[in-house]
Amino acid sequence: MLQAAEVASLDELPGNETLSTEAKTVNAPPKCGVTRLSDDGRFALCECSDSHPTAWDTVKTTSRSVLVLSTANSATILSIALKVQVPIVTTLADEGGQQYLLLLRDGIKLEIYRLP
């Protein structure tokens, strides 16, 4: 899987590269941010969260999700709800011309989703 994602270790997922100007044209939903574009430029990966202030002047996250959007029309291709406290790492990968979403939950559970 690391080879498919073109990284040498799990620490390199999803990467700290800067997003291209194409990512700025994607109309991501409110409270979502584009974190990565697919190599072919067809998909944008977004991480979303919702939160509210608490009585202690802190912010409590109430929901999290990952979205894959079409860069052509910003339509949602895939949406995955996440547990609030479970750490995740996400990236988009290409293997044989097919695009995939790779999602690593809690550092041990790897999930792979084929994108259309």
Q: Where are the domains of the chain?
A: 10-114
Q: What is the pTM of this model?
A: 0.74
pLDDT on residue 81: 93
**Per-residue pLDDT tens digits of the chain, which is 116 residues long:** 667 666 676 656 655 455 555 566 688 888 888 989 998 889 999 999 888 788 777 888 788 999 999 988 989 999 999 988 888 999 999 998 899 999 999 989 999 999 98
Phi-psi region of 62 (alpha: psi -120 to 50; beta: other; left: phi over 0): alpha
pLDDT on residue 30: 87
